[in-house]
């Protein structure tokens, strides 16, 4: 087993002290803000089709977009203006938690955002579907968000799915045992099994049925996981390409439609089955699970229900699955932390079912998950389109300007987090001598305010339960080069994700 060196892979970049930072603080104190045009950023002559050439010259690929953001901060300071080109105006990148505070303070009841995946938004609109929570703004977003708030964001509402989460975690323990026996090296590809687990867990939560993704339908599950991955990869390419697909069907856009069609066909079949089975339920709202609750809400149309169920089903593949990989990597490469975690789990859980009371006795596990979200963030930014003028870092930013609060840079900043590349869960423990106080807007892995990720509590609960079960049954080992990250709309694992799970 490799020794834990306590630091992230080299591609997980830390921001260094920026010479512009001090002057930025002085600018903020100025009585009159500087103009929007004075916000520092790449020179017009340095742009290529509206993008900074350095993204392509020094980083060589869109896969390293997140490192380019670090470069922007290092070169230009806490606020940077980047022209998008083709009449699309500028995006303002924010790297200061105080500016983030200002942006969020202007949110109001209905914060406006830039869609994470414009391609998915266009596809759904083209097919006559509801665009979904992540692609809507204004009254329509508020109506849809309000309808799921109670079912997804209240702790008590999410806790009733614990039996489902337990069941799938147990199935994963058995699945790993089978896969390990079949492997000549004794290793299993955690990237694959995490996708299968996320698919099975989401299906049981959303559709109230098992799919067999960890049993007899592994090939089908892998194909669906790969489809979802291909959609995100192509979406990232289209984000940085000439936006010709907006005007006519380019080859890449045709491929995107083909991929979305295949994924939606499979998901839609599951959704239709759930609607047919659960419509007209006589259960009380307290007894109803997620799909039943939505399907029997009179204020929701069939389109509304379908897009919410689709998002809930697919989001785990894109977010929770890679976060399981990152958590297992940190645990595997830090044997002392793994040992301490296992002691905590064995004391709290033993042979008992995992209940809310049991989860409340696992502070170190929660700290490890939190630290993994900081060190290996899944996203690069929280976006906003403020509906009123702002002053950020002493510069005037007019209403309607897209703003990216680049949280991946904030969470690795040495000014905000001492030893930012070190995996140090104790920094989050209240009674630890290493506990630190952090800026409240420096750590926002799930977003903020009304636009906070609706599936946050499900993701946290899923990770806590599955890590408990794996730590109870296996010693987790990773003996390959460090896992890094690559940009594919989200920040996904790069490198060998083969792990050994040694039975205890």
Per-residue pLDDT at 292: 85
pLDDT at 351: 80
CA geometry: angle at 103 spanning 101 and 106, to 5°? 105
**HSE, side-chain direction, 13 A CA sphere, residue 45:** 0
Structure-block tokens of residue 384: 């906003």
| Annotated binding-site residue? 368 | no
Asked whether residue 411 carries a pLDDT value surpassing 90, the answer given is: yes
Model pLDDT, residue 62: 87
397: pLDDT strictly greater than 90: yes
Is the confidence at residue 214, as pLDDT, over 90? yes
Using a pLDDT cut of 70, give the percent of the chain over it. Answer: 88
Residue 23 three-state SS: helix
Closest C-alpha to 459, from 386, 358, 372: 372
Find the mean pLDDT for residues 199-228. Answer: 94
Give the mean model confidence (pLDDT) for residues 109-138.
93
Residue 21 pLDDT grade (very low, low, confident, very high; cuts 50, 70, 90) = very low
Distance between CA 309 and CA 297 in Å, rounded?
13
- For residue 7, the model assigns a pLDDT of 59
Other C-beta atoms closer than 10 Å to the C-beta of 257 total: 17
Share of the chain residues as helix, strand and coil, in percent rounded to the nearest 5: 55, 10, 35
- 327-368 pLDDT per residue, tens: 999 999 999 999 999 999 999 998 888 999 999 999 999 999
The answer for residues whose C-beta is within 8 angstroms of residue 144's C-beta and 6 or more apart is 130, 133, 136, 304, 308
- Mind listing the pLDDT tens digit for each residue in 364-385? 999 999 999 999 999 999 999 9
In this prediction, residue 60 has a pLDDT band, given cuts at 50, 70 and 90, of low
Q: How much of the chain, in percent, has pLDDT values that exceed 90?
A: 73
Taking Cα atoms as reference points, which of 57, 315, 114 lies closest to residue 199? 315
Q: What is the pLDDT of residue 11?
A: 55
Distances 6 to 272, 366, 446 between C-alpha atoms, Å: 47, 18, 24
Residue 26 has pLDDT above 80, yes or no: no
The full DSSP string for 51-119 is EEHHHHHTS-SGGGHHHHHHHHHHHH-SEEEEE-STT--EEEEE--HHHHHHHHHT--SS-----S-HH
Whose tokens are 């209905």? That residue is 110
Contact 197, 209 (CB under 8 A): no
Q: What is the mean pLDDT of residues 11-16?
A: 53
**pLDDT higher than 70, residue 59:** no
pLDDT given at position 52 = 54
pLDDT (average), residues 217-246: 94
Q: Which pLDDT score, from 0 to 100, does residue 240 have?
A: 85
Per-residue pLDDT at 436: 74
Please answer whether residues 34 and 396 qualify as being in contact, where contact means their C-beta atoms are separated by less than 8 angstroms.
Answer: yes
Q: From the centroid of its chain, how far is CA 202?
A: 15
The pLDDT of residue 437 is 84
- Distances in Å between the Cα of 18 and the Cα atoms of 15, 23, 175 are 8, 10, 48
Please name each of the domains of the chain with its CATH number. 96-400+442-503 (1.10.630.10)
pLDDT at 91 over 60: yes
Which two tokens mark 132? 């979904």
Render the burial of 417-450: b for 16+ CB within 10 Å, e for the rest.
Answer: beebbebbbbbbbeeeeeeeeebebbbbbbbbeb
Distance CA(139)–CA(149), nearest Å, equals 15
Highest mean pLDDT among 108-117, 427-436, 481-490 belongs to 481-490
Are 262 and 227 within 8 A, CB to CB? Answer: yes
pLDDT of residue 151: 79
CB contact set of 140 (below 8 Å; sequence gap of 6+): none
DSSP state string for 334-351? -HHHHHHHHHHHHHHTTT
Mean pLDDT of the chain: 89
Rounded Cα distance, 316 and 197, in Å: 9
Can you tell me the mean pLDDT for 48-74?
71
Of 98 and 63, the one with more pLDDT: 98
pLDDT of residue 57: 47
Q: In whole angstroms, give the CA distance from residue 33 to residue 26.
A: 11
pLDDT of residue 289: 80
pLDDT digits (tens, 9 = 90+) for 303-320: 999 999 999 899 888 999
């Amino acid at each position: 087993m490799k020794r834990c060196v306590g630091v992230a892979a080299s591609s997980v970049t830390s921001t260094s002290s920026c010479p512009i930072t001090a002057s930025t603080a002085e600018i903020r104190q100025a009585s009159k803000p500087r103009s929007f045009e004075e916000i520092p950023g790449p020179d017009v002559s340095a742009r290529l089709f509206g993008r900074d050439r350095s993204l392509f010259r020094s980083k060589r690929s869109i896969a390293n977009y997140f490192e380019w953001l670090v470069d922007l901060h290092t070169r230009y300071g806490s606020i940077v203006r980047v022209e998008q080109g083709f009449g699309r105006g500028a995006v303002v990148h924010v790297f200061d938690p105080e500016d983030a505070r200002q942006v969020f303070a202007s949110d109001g009841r209905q914060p406006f955002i830039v869609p994470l995946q414009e391609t998915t938004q266009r596809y759904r609109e083209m097919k006559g579907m509801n665009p979904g929570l992540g692609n809507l703004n204004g009254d329509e977003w508020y109506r849809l968000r309000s309808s799921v708030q109670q079912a997804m964001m209240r702790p008590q509402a999410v806790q009733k799915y614990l039996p489902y989460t337990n069941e799938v975690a147990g199935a994963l323990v058995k699945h790993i045992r089978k896969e390990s026996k079949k492997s000549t090296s004794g290793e299993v590809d955690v990237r694959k099994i995490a996708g299968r687990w996320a698919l099975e867990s989401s299906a049981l939560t959303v559709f109230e049925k098992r799919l067999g993704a960890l049993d007899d339908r592994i090939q089908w599950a892998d194909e669906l996981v790969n489809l979802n991955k291909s959609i995100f990869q192509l979406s990232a390419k289209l984000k940085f390409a000439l936006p010709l697909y907006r005007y006519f069907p380019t080859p890449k856009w045709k491929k995107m439609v083909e991929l979305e069609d295949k994924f939606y066909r499979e998901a839609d079949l599951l959704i239709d089955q759930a609607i047919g089975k659960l419509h007209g339920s006589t259960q009380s709202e307290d007894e109803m699970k997620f799909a039943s609750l939505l399907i029997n809400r009179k204020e929701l149309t069939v389109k509304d229900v379908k897009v919410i169920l689709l998002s809930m089903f697919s989001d785990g593949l894109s977010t929770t699955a890679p976060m399981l990989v990152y958590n297992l990597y940190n645990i595997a490469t830090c044997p002392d932390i793994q040992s301490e975690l296992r002691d905590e789990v064995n004391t709290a859980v033993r042979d008992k079912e995992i209940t809310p009371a049991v989860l409340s006795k696992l502070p170190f596990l929660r700290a490890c998950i939190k630290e993994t979200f900081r060190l290996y963030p899944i996203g690069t930014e929280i976006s906003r389109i403020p509906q009123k003028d702002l002053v950020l870092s002493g510069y005037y930013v007019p209403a309607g300007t897209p703003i990216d609060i680049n949280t991946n840079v904030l969470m690795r900043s040495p000014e905000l987090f001492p030893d930012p590349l070190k995996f140090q869960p104790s920094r989050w423990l209240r009674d630890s001598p290493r506990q630190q106080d952090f800026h409240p807007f420096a750590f926002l892995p799930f977003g903020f305010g009304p636009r906070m990720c609706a599936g946050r509590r499900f993701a946290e609960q899923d990770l806590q339960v599955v890590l408990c079960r794996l730590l109870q049954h296996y010693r987790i080992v990773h003996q390959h080069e460090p896992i890094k990250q690559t940009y594919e709309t989200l920040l996904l694992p790069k490198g060998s994700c083969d792990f050994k799970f040694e039975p205890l």
